[in-house]
Amino acid sequence: MRGNSLASVLTVILNWRTADMTLRAAEAARAAMQGISGAITIVDNASGDGSFDRMSRAVQARGWDKGETPVRVLQSGQNGGFGAGNNHGIRAGLQGDFPAGQRPDYVYVLNSDAFPEPGAIRTLLGYLEAHPEAGFAGSYIYGEDGAAHQTAFRFPSVAGEFESHLRLGLVSRLLRHKIVAMPVPQVTARAGWMAGASLMLRQDMLDQIGLFDERFFLYFEETDLMLRGARAGWQAVYLPESRVMHIGSVSTGMRQWQRLPGFWLDSRLHYFTKNHGRSGAIAATLAAALGGGLWRARLLVQTKERGDPPYYLRDMLKHHFRRRFRPLPEAKNAPVRREKA
């Protein structure tokens, strides 16, 4: 095991039309990176609103491009989504665009609306340095109101889809080990996958399993990556001592969704089809439809909030059967898969 001072971290922050907030996230990351060898890369995902120029000027004016933790701003050239944008920043680090020609030992992915506390990054780094079996380390995420966010999860499954759509206490108790959203851990805990708002990844693991699958435009990309990691024997660990404040949904506008967008439906279907086959994807969608149908039958006699967007089940079934439960075609800019030497 190396001491923390010898391990290097590449922090990647993806921007899409949130330049001022992204700079605020970078400022918080710079403070949390003090004493850690590495750099911060801001990737503008072809915002088209002047973000790239504005952030580049701000970084230079503030002197962030020099010093212990240099900040650089890159232009991805296209808005390929969350995975593609982060891959662009990670690849730049692997291709020599890193201080003193180093290869980063870890990649820290930070949302543009997430702000790590001073010890947050060091906590993740320290755990991964001390536990070589762990490939992912995730933070305790809380909102502007101080309330904890659920960011530690089990992997989606057919049973989990039925439980989450049925919303019936007895069934939830019987399927408690299939419920996707875990209670917020109060101590260090294993998870299936964790939200990518504040997540550190071991580079040696990425060399083995590859980067984000760029066929996911948004959502399910970190779930897929961590499932690949788990299948290769790497652990994912949630660390409540690593604290990060997260506003949430600033770039995606999720809070204002009236209906589920096609990219979410694409991502969900691609996740199940890729990882569980066509039959597994059909079973997951039918389980969701059955559970959701029974839930809606209860709403005819009970006064409860529906809990999902209008036309949700109809949109999902129509979309999935129109796609015939086929995986998304291979991306033109597919994730680089680098094997260990």
- Is 84 in the same domain as 43? yes
- Amino acid 301: pLDDT: 92
Q: Give 64-86 pLDDT, tens digit per residue.
A: 999 889 999 999 999 999 999 99
Locus of tokens 């760029």: 214
Both 313 and 221 in a single domain? no
- Torsions phi, psi for 292 (to 5 deg): -65, -35
Please give the average per-residue pLDDT across 86-114, as a whole number: 87
Cβ 126 vs Cβ 139: under 8 Å? no
Please give the pLDDT value at position 257.
Answer: 58
In a shared domain, residues 211 and 268: no
pTM score: 0.92
Residue 264 forms part of a structural domain: yes
Percentage of the chain lying above the pLDDT 90 cut: 81
> Band of the pLDDT at 144, cuts 50, 70, 90?
very high
Last residue of one domain, picked from the residues 224, 252, 280: 252
Per the prediction, the chain carries an average pLDDT of 91
Q: Are residues 63 and 194 in the same domain?
A: yes
Secondary structure (3-state) at 73: strand
For the segment 241-272, what is each residue's pLDDT rounded down to a tens digit?
999 999 976 545 555 557 889 999 999 999 99
Say if CB 239 and CB 138 are below 8 A apart. yes
**Do residues 295 and 312 share a domain?**
yes
Same domain? For 79 and 20 the reply is yes
3-state secondary structure at position 198: strand
CB 178 within 8 A of CB 157: yes
Q: How many independent structural domains does the chain possess?
A: 2
| 167: region left, alpha or beta (phi > 0 left; psi from -120 to 50 alpha) | left
Task: Please state, in angstroms and rounded to a whole number, the distance separating the CA atoms of residues 137 and 114.
Answer: 16
**313 and 213 fall within a common domain:** no
236 neighbors 134 (Cβ within 8 angstroms): yes
Distance CA 97, CA 92 (A): 5
Domain match, 194 and 231 both: yes
Whether the predicted pLDDT of 334 surpasses 70: no
Residue 334 lies in a domain: no
Domain co-membership, 48 together with 139? yes
User: 48 in the Ramachandran plot: left (φ > 0), alpha (ψ -120 to 50) or beta?
Assistant: left
Nearest to 238 by CA among 271, 272, 275, 191: 191
Instruction: Let me know if residue 160 belongs to a domain.
Output: no
Q: Is residue 157 part of a domain?
A: no
Residue 340 lies in a domain: no
Would you state the pLDDT for residue 100?
Answer: 59
Picking from 16, 15, 17, the residue whose alpha carbon sits closest to that of residue 29 is 15
Structural domain that includes position 120: 4-149+184-252
Q: pLDDT tens-digit profile of 287-307?
A: 999 999 999 999 999 888 888
Residue that terminates a domain, selected from 252, 275, 301: 252
Give domain status of residue 161, yes or no.
Answer: no
Q: Are 141 and 149 in contact (CB under 8 A)?
A: yes
Position 332 confidence tier, pLDDT thresholds 50, 70, 90 = very low
**197 and 62 in a common domain:** yes
Other CB atoms within 10 Å distance of the CB of residue 148: 15
**H or E element: which one contains 127?**
helix 120-130
Q: Is residue 114 part of a domain?
A: yes
Report pLDDT for 65. Answer: 94
Cβ burial of 256 (10 Å; 0-12, 13-18, 19+) is: exposed
Report the pLDDT value the prediction gives residue 174, as an integer from 0 to 100. Answer: 97
Asked if residue 282 and residue 248 are part of one domain, the reply reads: no
The answer on 38 and 138 residing in a single domain is yes
Give the CATH number of the domain where residue 36 resides: 3.90.550.10
Q: Determine, yes or no, domain membership for 162.
A: no
Question: How large is the average pLDDT for residues 126-144?
Answer: 98
